[in-house]
Amino acid sequence: MSNGEKGILMRLLGGAWAAVNGLRRLVVNVVFLLLLALALGLLLARAPNPVIDGSALLLRPAGQLVEQVAVADPLSLLQRGANPSQTPLHEVLEALDAAASDTRIRGVVIETDPLAAAGLAKLQELAAAITRFREAAPDKPILAWGSRFTQAQYFLASQADEVYLAPDGFVLAHGFASYPTYYKGLFDKLDVRINVFRVGIHKSAVEPFTRESMSEPHREATARLLDGLWAQWLEGVTTHRSIGTDELDALVDDYPARLAAANGDAAQLALQSGLVDGLLTPDQWRALQISRFGRLDDGKSPRRTALGAYLAGVRAQLVPAPARIAVVTVQGAIVDGDSPIGVAGGETVAAMLARVRDDDAYKGLVLRIDSPGGSVFASERIRREVDLIRQAGKPVVASMSSVAASGGYWVALAADEIWAGSSTLTGSIGIFGMFPDLSGLLARGGLAVDGVGTSPIAGGLDPRRPLSEPMASALKSSIEHGYRRFVGLVASARGMDGAAVEKVAQGQVWSGRQALDHGLVDQLGGLGAAIGAAAGRAGLDRYQVDWIEPELDARERILERLLHAFAVDRPDRGIAAGATAVFVQMVGELGDLADWNDPGHVYAHCECQSP
């Protein structure tokens, strides 16, 4: 083929790519405009006051219970399951606290079917809010129903005064477990080597990539942690039920035999065991709500006000306060640079913190953490910005959600106070470094790498080549320095000596309750308590709370509001969906390696997940 023919071919390919790319952008924009038109139409048709007088507040959390809702591309809405719903925990808490004294609200209705996942600490915060509602408004009933109950769903439903289950449903309470996937065998087959440097015998985050099974220290620590968390789950579930913790624990242990004795009828077993108060089909559940709260004008539906509509009505009546408390979220893995919501980019979070520091309207900060950590460089970037806010005279309170471990604990160390939930996973004070060696994989494919450098370590961080001894030594020194620094930060922030920190460090993961005993946190309590503590330190009696979000363009802001307002949810069902979820998790774990982008390849990350 001549050069001229090649040039023509390249121009044709370039034109084809431009056409495909233009079509892609056109589809995205068309979907976006359709969503926008739909939203505007619904908003125009909506009544001025969305709160229905004499109604029940409907709590129907969809998808994952999170601290901050992520923004999705509209094109993903066309792909089944590509955009799982998310429900911000703080909005549910805000609605419950407001509804307790709202004379327009006669009770609470909880429907758990759309709830896909929620950490135990988040569920406990939600349970505490329901308890506050019950104590403030004892005459307002709280009813719950589900076609079936997963462990998380049942924890939420069990907080109600009355719990109902569909006649063909079940309560799937099976305890807590941790069974990581180990990839060493796969890497061996591919001739991929993962070079690991770590400090802390309990720092298990690297084990899935370097072992074929769980190490004994990790096994023992995990079993101890899960036993403590399971005890908290049992305690929370049985508080408002007629079954005791020991009885429920025995039911779970002996479930197959108990189910067989009930002729395989899981719903009847749940009723006989006191887990639910009755069995109701969907139409019977609707009729029960109508009998308690009346009908809407259509004559068919029970009088209920959805959470989103209720919050919109309540917030529209609020009188803005001149003083504000800011809440900045550190959610997801901590990575270097900028990031979308759902991943805590060091620069993204630092920019939000700088806005709080520079705005005189903000008198205090709550750092809400739901992260297993990640990049040490990015963690320190965030911690330093928090420290600068304190130096500016604004109090800072760290509030731990489901997980605030390793780098998530690192960023909390700059706060004046640290609050945790009793089941928050925290600690994991340890450091590790990982660097892949792909030379074996390339060799299997017939590829070779060769050349020269100006020093023994030039090109030393090239994954195509084996890690050299000089570079390995440098990484080891860096990891050891990072661990000493982590321990020093903890000692300074918590008023402990190095020996005391070492006893609780070495990568050990603690529940919030254990962390309080070890002096790693100051108080046990949820988000509301942390906000109150920040306001108290700032000397505020009247204030409003602002959730600070990353700067979004106009399109992203509108889209984020639309997705949240319409609560697009497609919860997966059945065994096939479960198998798909496991496969997606495995792919995600391997894909997460690409997000580990610390400039020095040094990480404070916890291989821990709230059950």
What are the tens digits of pLDDT across the range 399-445? 999 999 999 999 999 999 999 999 999 999 999 888 899 999 999 99
Report whether pLDDT(384) > 80: yes
Predicted structure pTM score:
0.85
The single residue listed with the structure tokens 């798909």 is 580
Q: Would you say domain 324-449+458-574+592-605 falls under CATH 3.90.226.10? A: yes
* Residues 112-132, mean pLDDT to the nearest whole number: 97
CA pseudo-torsion sign 559, 565, 568, 574: positive
pLDDT > 90? residue 451: yes
CA distance 124 to 115: 15
d(CA 414, CA 350): 13
Residue 339: in which H helix or E strand, if any?
none
And the tokens for 148? 């079936």
CATH 3.40.50.10810 for the 50-177+224-316 domain, yes or no = no
Q: Check whether 257 has a pLDDT greater than 50.
A: yes
- Residue 203 designated active-site: yes
* Token pair recorded at residue 54: 């004499």
DSSP states along 505-533: -TT-EEEHHHHHHTTS-SEE--HHHHHHH
HSE-CB at 470 with a 13 A cutoff on CA atoms is: 7
Identify the pLDDT of residue 79.
Answer: 44
| Residue 7 host element (H or E) | helix 3-45
Fold equal for 50-177+224-316 and 324-449+458-574+592-605:
yes
Q: Among residues 114, 115, 118, which one has the least CA distance to residue 609?
A: 118
**Strand 431-437 with 602-605, pairing:** antiparallel
Over the chain, what is the mean pLDDT? 86
Residue 35 has pLDDT above 90, yes or no: no
Structure tokens at 472: 């390995």
Helix axes 245-253, 216-238, angle to 10 degrees: 120
Residues 79-102, mean pLDDT to the nearest whole number: 83
Sign of CA dihedral 124, 514, 373, 348: positive
- pLDDT value of position 92: 97
CB 375 within 8 Å of CB 335:
yes
Count the Cβ atoms, other than its own, within 10 Å of residue 9.
11
Catalytic residue among 203, 339, 371, 511: 203
For the cut 70, the answer to whether the pLDDT of residue 466 exceeds it is yes
CA distances from 358 to 88, 147, 549 (A): 27, 50, 15
pLDDT score of 349: 97
Instruction: Check residue 214 and report its DSSP letter.
Output: -
pLDDT score recorded for residue 157: 98
Instruction: Report the C-alpha gap between 80 and 494 in whole angstroms.
Output: 48
pLDDT tens digits along 547-605: 998 875 555 555 555 544 444 443 333 333 444 444 444 545 555 555 666 776 677 77
What integer pLDDT is reported at residue 49 of this predicted model?
58
Mean pLDDT of 134-150: 98
| Amino acid 583: pLDDT | 45
- Report d(CA 483, CA 432) in Å as an integer: 8
Active site residue 476: no
Tell whether the model's pLDDT for residue 607 goes beyond 80.
Answer: no
Buried (b) or exposed (e) across 441-456, using 16+ Cβ within 10 A?
Answer: bbeeeeeeeeeeeeee
Q: What is the mean pLDDT of residues 518-544?
A: 97
* Catalytic residue, candidates 158, 371, 402, 406: 406
Q: Residue 550: what pLDDT?
A: 85
Backbone angles phi, psi at 603, to 5 degrees: -135, 140
3-state class (DSSP) for residue 379: helix
Domain boundaries, the chain: 1-36, 50-177+224-316, 324-449+458-574+592-605
CB atoms closer than 10 angstroms to residue 136:
13
Q: pLDDT for 14-31, tens place per residue?
A: 555 565 565 556 555 555
**What pLDDT score does 53 carry?**
94
Phi-psi region for residue 510, left (φ > 0), alpha (ψ -120 to 50) or beta?
Answer: beta
3-class SS of residue 424? coil
Say how far apart CA 343 and CA 66 lie, in whole Å. 12
Cβ-count burial of 379 within 10 angstroms (0-12 exposed, 13-18 middle, 19+ buried)?
buried
- Mean pLDDT, to the nearest integer, of 201-213? 87
What is the percentage of the chain residues whose pLDDT exceeds 70? 82
Residue whose structure tokens are 């089941």:
423
